[in-house]
Amino acid sequence: MRAGNTLYYGDNLKVMRQHIGDASVDLVYLDPPFNSQRDYNVLFREQSGEPAQGQIKAFTDTWQWSERAYIEFCETCPLPALAELMQGFVRTLGRNDLTAYLVMMAPRLVELHRALKPTGSLYLHCDPTASHYLKVMLDVIFGAKNFRNEIVWKRQSAHSDARYKFPNVADILLFYGKSDRTSFFPLFGDYDPEYLRKNYRYDDNDGRGPYRLSDMRSPNPRPNLMYEWMGYKPHPNGWAYSRETMQKLHDEGRIWYPRTPDGTPDYTKRPALKRYLNERKGSIITNIWTDVTPLHASMKERLGYPTQKPLALLERIIQASSNEGEVVLDPFCGCGTAIVAAHKLNRRWIGIDITHLAIALIKYRLSDMFDLKEGVDYRVIGEPTSVEDARALALQDRDEFQRWAIGLIPRAFPYQQKKGADTGIDGMLHFTDNPREHPKKVVIQVKSGRVGVKDIRDFRGVLEREGATLGLFVSLEPPTEPMLREAEQAGYYKTPLGDIALPRLQIRTVEQLLRGEGFAIPSAALLMGVAQAARAQPADEQNALDL
């Protein structure tokens, strides 16, 4: 198991305080909710590509004011200037969702600063809703002198909010270093085709490719480099190169000379240096990023998770601010783009999220892209590992218990019911065992309390109503004999793949699922539910600029 590769389920503030040591992290990337007053849903699609009936809310991007949280922060904040700043925000802006968001972010940014090594960096991904307030907070926490860049990423080309203002098409990344020792490696991208057309206009057809011309005179007076070259007298500043270097460049054919009408070199006119395109590293990446394509619904990389960022965006950040083997932390890891980018680039990683849905999606993604296995290649801390843990989760948060339990079933996804409706379905799954037929539906129900034969009888009704091929019943408590007999009455399904007939209504306890005693689903069937991530391609590290 690669050291440091860990997923944590839980409140990132508590996790960081309990598990993340001082000066233990090389790079932090965080993409917290932006306080944009929206609910985000993970959208699962049917095999046809159409939206499935079920969407499941991933998180609510809304923060409500808590006087208790505000007082606790002001009383415990280790930075008096930050506490004073927060009090100023509240006095100026009032007690509202925005200041609630800032109160939530402040202690987490303090913990992230603590966790960074002196050579470490932090990238905070945000939008104009709160970026200016967050920057002032970061100036206090990191010191204004450690501000490196405000990076603008153009995330889309059009927007619907153009009636009263210019459309917002960009996100902001605030880049801070822990100290003046912060690691940074300049990156290079492709040149603009128009730039190449205008500047690399020369080609001697000698196999060295196109080149541009560069002045060979010194930008400042160099009395020791005042010599005549091939009959041409130097500029008053002198040459930029010694006579020995000039001779070497001449012998290598790297000096361009003007031509006479008959095509011979004219040494009476000023020469120039040939700078070949294939010897350049590319166009240096600036703080305006327009070349990282945002994710669209049709892209293979797209998993359906709200706010999913392109892998290329995270690869750029990780390449610019860390070395192989160093530790990358994402405290709001969502569907895990920073995690998979770090793994692809041979970094160690730590991810934290407060939803079991996100942790489940990341585990699928790590398996799909890298064949990684939980407990072998990485750890998951905070999820139930025993019936007692599961029972505690159910008492604490029934919805999160359901989502976690559904995550124990391969490729199953949570099903969000309409408000006020109880459809008897907590999760879904589809599979295909015959390419000539439509995918088969599997409905899932999860129970955390006492169960009885009536629950199975009702679930049989759901199975028939939905026209589902299989029904999977997950219970925290053991089933009774009448429950097992009632389940058997639902009959069997015979798959064309050659398996034995499978019970249409199956019951498993959480304890059984934790032991690996899963449901009986056609073994060779193609499971469809949570999107499958594409296999990872080998990463090409960009070279750093030698300074």
pTM of the predicted protein model: 0.84
CB pairs under 8 A, 24+ apart, for 64-71? 64/97, 64/100, 65/95, 65/96, 65/97, 65/99, 65/100, 66/100, 66/103, 67/95, 69/100, 69/103, 69/104, 70/95, 70/99, 70/103
Q: CA-based angle 180:186:190, to the nearest 5?
A: 160
CB count in 10 Å sphere of residue 544: 16
Consecutive H or E run containing 363: helix 356-370
Residues 6 or more apart whose Cβ sits within 8 Å of residue 55: 41, 42, 43, 44, 416
Q: What is the spatial distance between Cα 339 and Cα 334, in angstroms, rounded to a whole number?
A: 10
Determine whether 435 is exposed, middle or buried from the number of CB atoms within 10 Å of its CB (0-12, 13-18, 19+): exposed
Consecutive H or E run containing 425: none
Report the 3 state secondary structure along 169-228: CEEEEEEEECCCCCCCCCCEECCCHHHHHHHCCECCCCCCCCEEEECCECCCCCHHHCCC
Q: What is the DSSP letter of 374?
A: B
Q: What is the spatial distance between Cα 408 and Cα 158, in angstroms, rounded to a whole number?
A: 40
Q: What is the DSSP letter of 263?
A: S
Determine whether 361 is exposed, middle or buried from the number of CB atoms within 10 Å of its CB (0-12, 13-18, 19+): buried
In sequence order, the β-bridge partners of residue 378 are 374
Q: How many residues does the chain have?
A: 547
pLDDT the model gives residue 451: 96
pLDDT the model gives residue 45: 42
Residue 52 φ/ψ region, left for φ over 0, alpha for ψ in the -120 to 50 degree band, beta for the rest:
beta
pLDDT the model gives residue 159: 62
Report CA-CA distances (Å) from 404 to 183, 188, 538: 39, 42, 32
Structure tokens at 380: 């998951």
Q: What is the spatial distance between Cα 467 and Cα 440, in angstroms, rounded to a whole number?
A: 9
Per-residue pLDDT of the chain (547 residues; tens, 9 = 90+): 445 799 999 999 999 999 999 999 999 999 998 755 455 445 444 333 333 344 445 555 556 899 999 999 999 999 999 999 999 999 999 999 899 999 999 999 999 999 999 999 999 999 888 999 999 999 999 999 999 999 999 987 666 667 788 888 899 999 999 999 999 999 999 999 999 999 999 999 999 999 999 999 999 999 999 999 999 999 999 999 999 999 999 999 999 999 999 989 999 999 999 999 999 999 999 999 999 998 887 788 888 777 889 999 999 999 999 999 999 999 999 999 999 999 999 999 999 999 888 999 999 999 999 999 999 999 999 999 999 999 999 999 999 999 999 999 998 988 876 555 568 999 998 888 887 888 899 999 999 999 999 999 999 999 999 999 999 999 999 999 999 999 999 999 988 877 678 999 999 999 999 999 999 988 666 776 666 777 777 655 443 333 2
pLDDT the model gives residue 305: 76
Asked if residues 495 and 442 have their Cβ atoms less than 8 Å apart, the reply is no
Consecutive H or E run containing 133: helix 131-142
Q: What is the spatial distance between Cα 331 and Cα 28, in angstroms, rounded to a whole number?
A: 8
Nearest to 318 by CA among 24, 27, 542: 27
Asked if residues 224 and 243 have their Cβ atoms less than 8 Å apart, the reply is no
- By DSSP bridging, strand 492-493 and strand 427-432 are unpaired
pLDDT the model gives residue 48: 35
Domains contained in the chain, CATH given: 6-184+285-383 (3.40.50.150), 193-279 (no CATH), 388-528 (3.40.1350.10)
Q: What is the spatial distance between Cα 4 and Cα 378, in angstroms, rounded to a whole number?
A: 8
